[in-house]
């Protein structure tokens, strides 16, 4: 009797894509994995030639998503992990083929978590006794401190359940109320399933960084991990200015909830644009504007009030920059946005002024004759459909060359007709988390 065989569901091998064939020499030494990845960081714009970038290849954390929980983790559907990895591999292959040094988040975290003191600091936030109870928190911290640095990073990224904790520490949870009151598959360490969207946990502005207090609880550990990695590498954080008069007790970003890197765009010429909407709060945007202006890191700061909708959760889901004077933008959402110019008064307080002609003001700040807007679609239907699939969320490799999702054929065609070179990657699974190439990348070094 002939035995039936199940066809392989493994993603195919990686044939070369256009743009992958000829890796360029960046002129920079390839950074070693780990803490050296943050040496010499400098990002002045969205469009200067990209030299070094931080990414995270999706891993075991995606296998934690289940029907009924995927929306809690900000995914619209449950992705196929192997295909998501395949698509991400195409992305990083294209980056390397275009001369970009690709730094993997897990290797950076492994280096950062090697010192026990650094690991303890991270665990105070990632495994707090206030949530777990003292017994479970102590067991969790002991498990990670006993693990090798790479295992520490993997556990923090992929998560840890009570069942798994009990397997590693037999009997340790038998009389812990924090364990007895919960089901075995409850997450002691929630999986960081959004960690592939590395854009959001930090911003690198000129030669400084800001690690962000994320808007949702399921992502908050991402910012803590990035802060630990940057601190371990000796990267320079944005300096907090003196507090505004009457708020002398304000302690920087501590206590703020809702600041994410997808809402921070760097058009260049000392200009920063901050989106305010579903993820970044007005208070956080105001604070960031004050830090940037008072510290001299930015000369011009604009705030953009976005519609509060999942389709435009970040500014970079509505618009991204593709050359020194051009933005790819969703016109449907553009018309719903309100722009403000941010400035400091004599008391070191941020003041906002509404802008009737925001792109004229932006052009003046950038010292260009005008801003060219390239729409993602021809009408309300195509614009909304392709924008939902991250059509506006492209990553610029150099002025006039971008990486985009292959599924957004109309937006990509409009870019091509506008003279922009579009390199595409497959996106059937990566798109399920509502993030495109811009979200999947955190530039560390760009040319001016």
**Annotated catalytic, 442?**
no
Q: Which residues 6+ apart lie within 8 Å of 110 measured at CB?
A: 33, 34, 149, 150, 152, 153
Helix (H), strand (E) at residue 164: helix 162-168
What's the token pair of residue 206? 């000129």
Cα–Cα distance measured from residue 170 to residue 167, given in angstroms and rounded to the nearest whole number: 6
CB-based contact 215:280 (threshold 8 Å): yes
CB-based contact 372:380 (threshold 8 Å): no
What do you get for the CA distance between the two ends of the chain, in Å?
68
Cα–Cα distance measured from residue 265 to residue 394, given in angstroms and rounded to the nearest whole number: 12
Cα–Cα distance measured from residue 373 to residue 319, given in angstroms and rounded to the nearest whole number: 9
For 322-337, letters b (16+ CB in 10 Å) and e give bbbbbbbbbbbbbeeb
Cα–Cα distance measured from residue 303 to residue 317, given in angstroms and rounded to the nearest whole number: 15
What's the token pair of residue 438? 């811009």
Q: Of 403, 433, 393, nearest to 96 (Cα)?
A: 403
3-state class (DSSP) for residue 444:
strand
What's the token pair of residue 241? 């200015």
Q: Which residue has the tokens 């016109």?
A: 331
| 372-375 vs 326-329, strand pairing mode | parallel
State the DSSP string of 278-303: SSS-HHHHHHHHHHHHHTTS-SEEEE
For 244-255, letters b (16+ CB in 10 Å) and e give beeeeebeebee
The one-character DSSP state at 2 is: P
Catalytic one among 271, 337, 439, 442?
439
Region for 236 from its dihedrals, namely left if φ exceeds 0, alpha if ψ lies in -120 to 50, beta otherwise: beta
| 395-398 vs 401-405, strand pairing mode | antiparallel
Helix (H), strand (E) at residue 273: strand 271-276
Q: Which residues 6+ apart lie within 8 Å of 78 measured at CB?
A: 65, 66, 67, 70, 432
Catalogue the active-site residues: 439
């Amino acid at each position: 009797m002939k035995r039936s065989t199940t066809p392989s569901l493994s993603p195919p091998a990686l044939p070369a894509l256009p743009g992958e064939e000829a890796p360029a020499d960046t002129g920079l030494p390839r950074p070693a994995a780990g803490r050296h990845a943050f040496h010499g960081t400098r990002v002045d714009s969205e469009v200067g030639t990209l030299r070094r970038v931080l990414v995270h290849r999706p891993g075991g954390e995606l296998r934690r998503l289940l029907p009924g929980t995927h929306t809690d983790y900000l995914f619209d559907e449950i992705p196929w992990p192997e295909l998501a990895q395949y698509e991400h591999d195409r992305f990083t292959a294209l980056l390397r083929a275009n001369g970009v040094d690709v730094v993997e988040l897990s290797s950076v975290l492994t280096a950062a978590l090697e010192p026990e003191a650094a690991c303890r600091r991270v665990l105070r936030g990632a495994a707090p006794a206030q949530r777990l109870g003292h017994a479970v928190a102590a067991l969790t911290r002991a498990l990670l401190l006993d693990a090798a640095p790479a295992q520490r990073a993997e556990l923090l990224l992929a998560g840890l359940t009570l069942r798994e904790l009990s397997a590693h520490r037999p009997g340790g949870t038998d009389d812990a109320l924090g364990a007895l009151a919960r089901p075995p598959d409850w997450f002691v360490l929630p999986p960081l399933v959004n960690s592939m969207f590395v854009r959001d946990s930090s911003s690198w502005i000129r030669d400084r960084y800001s690690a962000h207090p994320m808007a949702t609880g399921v992502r908050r550990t991402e910012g803590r991990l990035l802060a630990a990695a940057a601190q371990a590498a000796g990267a320079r954080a944005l300096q907090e200015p003196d507090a505004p008069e009457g708020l002398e007790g304000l302690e920087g970003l501590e206590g703020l909830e809702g600041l994410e890197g997808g809402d921070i765009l760097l058009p260049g010429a000392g200009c920063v644009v901050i989106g305010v909407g579903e993820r970044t709060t007005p208070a956080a945007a105001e604070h960031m504007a004050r830090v940037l202006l008072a510290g001299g890191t930015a000369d011009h700061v604009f705030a953009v009030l976005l519609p509060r909708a999942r389709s435009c959760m970040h500014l970079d889901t509505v618009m991204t920059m593709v050359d020194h004077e051009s933005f790819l933008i969703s016109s449907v959402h553009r018309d719903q946005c309100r722009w403000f110019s941010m400035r400091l008064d004599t008391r070191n307080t941020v003041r906002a002024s509404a802008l009737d002609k925001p792109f004229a003001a932006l052009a003046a700040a950038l010292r260009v004759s005008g801003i060219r807007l390239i729409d993602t679609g021809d009408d309300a239907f195509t614009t909304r459909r392709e924008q939902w699939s991250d059509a506006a969320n492209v990553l610029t490799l150099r002025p006039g060359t971008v990486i985009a999702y292959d599924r957004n054929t109309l937006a990509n065609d409009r870019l091509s007709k506008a003279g922009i070179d579009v390199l595409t990657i497959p996106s059937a699974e990566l798109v399920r988390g509502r993030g495109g190439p811009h979200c999947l990348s955190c530039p560390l070094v760009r040319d001016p």
